[in-house]
Structure formats: C-alpha cells, structure tokens
Amino acid sequence: MTCRAPFDTGTSYRPGARFGPSGIRQGSRRLNLYGGYNVPLKTNPFDSWATVLDCGDIPVTSYDNTWALKQIEEGHYSILSRAPKTDANQPGPAKRGKTLPRVITLGGDHTITLPLLRSINRAYGPVSVIHFDSHLDTWRPKVFGGSPSEVASINHGTYFYHAAREGLLANDTNIHAGIRTTLSGPSDYEHDGYCGFEIVEAREIDVIGTAGIIKRIVDRVGTERPVYLSLDIDTLDPAFAPATGTPETGGWSTRELRTILRGLEDINLIAADIVEVAYADADQPAYDTNAEHTTMAAADALYEIMSIMLKKGPLSKMIGSEGSDGEL
C-alpha cells in the first residue's frame, strides 16, 4: 500500500515538501502495468502476487505540528492495521505473530518519519532502519534549531534523536547511507553513534563502489530482522534532484541509487518512506526543472522499493521473527 503525508512545517530551509506526494505521483505517470517489468530484478510490481493500493492522503493540519504528527501516526497505523489481501491468516513478524501489509509513505518533510516509526513500533516493536540521506538527522535539538520549545525540538533534523530516545530503533543495527553534510563539530558523529547508527558517507562510493555500499548496508541490518527504509531525495546530487528542502552537492546519481536499492532485495523490508521532494506545480516548478527531474527520480526510487518488496514475497515468509504482546 502507498499513502501520502503532505507535511512540511518541520523544515529548516526550503518549503514545498507538502506538495511532494503530488509531485511523485506526477512523476510516475509513465509507470504502468504494460511497462512495469524490472529487468535487473526480474519482477513486475504491477503484475505479481500482491495487490498494490493507493490509500490517498492522510489528513494533516498545517497549523499545529504536534497534532499533525499525531494525525500521521494514527493515519498510518489505521492503514497498517488492515488485513493484507495475501496471507492475511498466515503467521508473520508483527508483535502478535500476524502478517500485515507493507506501507510506503510519500512525504512530506523528513519529520514524518518519527510518527511513522511510532506506528511501526506499535505493530512490530523496535526495528532496524536504513536511512538514505545527505544529513544525519540525529542532531540534538539544542544543536539543530536551538530547541526554543518542545514543539520546535521535533523537526527534520532531529527526528531520529527522538526515535532513539523513545526506543523505536533496534540497538546498533541502523545505518545512514549517502551522508555528506557539514557538521556542528566531530561530536555530531559521536552522538550519532549513541543513537545506534553506522555511517556510510557519499564519498565512499568512489573507493568501494555500489557493491561495497550494498555490502555495508546488508551486513549492518542483516537479512532476518524487520527493516524500515527511509529515503530522503537529497541523497541524490542536486544535478539529479534539485527540488528538495536542503540540497547538498556531491551526492549520488540516480543510477547509483537505483543500483544500491536493487541490491537490498534480500533484506526484510516491512515499510518505507520517500521524503523531501519540494514540489510546486508541473508547469511552474519552484526548484525543479521543467523536465521534472526530481519527481521522476523519486517515482523511480518508489518503483525500485516496490520491486524489492514484491520480489521478497509476503511478510508471512519472513524468517527470524519473534511474536510478543502488542497491539497487532
């Protein structure tokens, strides 16, 4: 299932990510059943064992961030609580041993990952996270934004700090990929380690290649535990995705990112998000080109994530899961 979270009041630079879901949908127009076969992965996400549903927008207020994040959590959890069309009655990796649908959320700025992980935690408990981004997003609120209030302390640069403190992340099985931002100082990396992340910098691809990046990610998260994937479109170099909230030069190409995503076909992805597409209108793009580079890149990333989920099979086939008490 896909759903959309049009929220961008947690940004620190460019706005517009609330229109990102519409942009990604616009960028996906050429993807359809008759041209959906993924040659490298040998699968077609539009013609497979699974039913793909677009669940529309989660209603999100733009006036109250605290309430908006609650809306996103509850909206996502409502979708996650629905029985999947395939293997609904088979045991799965959720807390109570159920098989749940996979949900991919289109944002929205990166703040939305916090309520999404809260929803996932209610269903699965702590999960491993693969985080594609040019920024750490584990900054302490006093470092990123100054934390003038509790509401302001939760934004697109601090949500993983809060997720770690809330116990939403599996200990020391999380990884960033594509990092290339400037820091407030070396202590940012040290604090990132406290949050349970390993770092793969964007520049490492020059030495170890895409195969090396894939190996680092898979070795970190494993192939048995539940994994959540969060993709910030600014992982890509602005040459390939200029329409984003906080662009950073020196990023990966679309070809490199798609190759890396395909290399994750053996991990157990239970859910994902694609965020930080700052979109305005196809005829008057605020930051994108008229060729819609960013929205097409995001749509293609969505296609690759769907493909690896579909190739892996239903979550009922996931191994290494342990049931426990919980809501689902």
Q: Which residues of the chain have pLDDT under 70?
A: 281-285, 319-328
Annotated binding residue at 219?
Answer: no
> pLDDT value at position 323?
43
Q: Tens of pLDDT along 226-273?
A: 999 999 999 999 999 999 999 999 999 999 999 999 999 999 999 999
Against a cut of 0.75, is the pTM above it? yes
Calculate helix-pair angle for 293-312, 254-262, nearest 10 degrees. 10
List, in order of start, the domains of the chain with CATH numbers. 2-317 (3.40.800.10)
Please list, residue by residue across 307-322, b when 16 or more beta carbons sit within 10 angstroms of its beta carbon and e when fewer do: bbbbbbebbbebeebe
Annotated binding residue at 87?
Answer: no
Annotated binding residue at 133?
Answer: yes
* Closest to 225 in 3D by CA, of 176, 266, 177: 266
Annotated binding residue at 110?
Answer: yes
> pLDDT value at position 326?
57
Q: Tens of pLDDT along 141-161?
A: 988 877 788 888 899 999 999
Annotated binding residue at 300?
Answer: no
